[in-house]
Amino acid sequence: MELTMLGTAAGRPAEGRNVTAAALTMPPQRGTFWLFDCGEGTQHQLLRAGMKLCKLERIFVTHLHGDHVFGLPGLLGSRSSMGCDAPLTLHGPRGIRHWLETTFSITGAHVHYELEIREIDGDGGVVHEDDQFTVKAAPLNHRIACYGYRIEERPRPGRLDAAKLAELGVPQGPLYAQLKRGEDATLQDGRVIRAADVVGPPIPGRVIAILGDTTPCDAAIRLAEGADLVVHEATFEAALAGKAAEYGHSTTAEAARTARDARAARLLLTHFSGRYRDEDLPRLEAEAREVFPSSAAARDFLNVQLPHKRRT
């Protein structure tokens, strides 16, 4: 898995930075990716990143401010005109269905694949679950309804104790796979081999928190708790905390405190105000690192690898 930052600017595009979007490439066996927010020009960013719209499986929108959604109608329409027929699910705050349906209606646009829109309301909760991942949403503290997302991968089976299996006379083959799945196995002589006796503890899955626009709040910390990677807006530098609060945003230091308090592993700062140029990013990154050393400032097309946790 890897996360590709497609847009790291706040409010409007800046030179070298597009507005908010990020793509999460799923495990190879799925062959798909998920999109988080879709600011204007996101489909152009996907083209530059070499990511194919037909591989897009889900879109998660944090809130309905234009710099996070104005790319949606065009992207959805392009996916249809390209002949993509795979279903697509869109998750977002209440109102996103009405906005899209109105836009499609008055522009005469058509989507020919199955598009499911799932609106999120209130306290959020589990918004998606499959055999590999659970996605949870929670409301943040912004000027309009805004959600953050926590993507949790299910644990992987622990390591088989091959030496113990050989000692017990378990033949290699289907019984090994059965035990690996956590199922007890019965040998030909009638002995029952308990999976708990020959399989190590489960290996925790990866956790990514992708937060929308917000001032510091408890919900952000809960979503980021123990995460391998937290993507957090840092619209302003630390000295502009008052301005950040006025507009419903966070500073570099505030984002870092959220990651620190959540005991996260890494923090990726994004959503930078247009007042900052690329040469300012090392300074903004340094401010966050004073609070949380494992902080980095994102740039457009940055790829962040998300390796599996290791077996112990």
Structure tokens, 160:
């088989």
In 121-211, the DSSP E strands lie at: 125-129, 133-139, 147-153, 185-186, 192-193, 207-210
Residue 188 is predicted with a pLDDT of 87
- Give tens-digit pLDDT for 61-76: 999 999 999 999 999 9
Which residues of the chain are modeled with pLDDT < 50?
A: 312
Please give the model's pTM, rounded to 2 decimal places: 0.91
Decide if 170 contacts 219 (C-beta within 8 A): no
β-strand 125-129 against 115-120: which pairing, if any? unpaired
| Mean pLDDT score of the chain | 95
CA distance 244 to 236: 6
Binding-site entries for Zn(2+): 63, 65, 67-68, 142, 213, 271
Which domains are present in the chain?
2-155+204-305 (3.60.15.10), 162-198 (no CATH)
Annotated catalytic, 85? no
pLDDT (0 to 100) of residue 311: 56
What is the distance between the alpha carbons of residues 240 and 68, in angstroms, rounded to a whole number? 23
Q: Phi then psi for 81, rounded to 5 degrees?
A: -65, -20
DSSP-assigned beta bridge partners for residue 220 = none
Query: Would you put residue 41 in left (φ > 0), alpha (ψ -120 to 50) or beta?
Result: left
The reported pLDDT for the residue numbered 224 is 98
User: pLDDT by residue (tens digit) across 228-268?
Assistant: 999 999 999 999 999 999 999 999 999 999 999 999 999 99
Could you say which of 67, 228, 280, 300 is catalytic?
Answer: 67
How far apart, in whole angstroms, are the C-alpha atoms of residue 132 and residue 23? 18
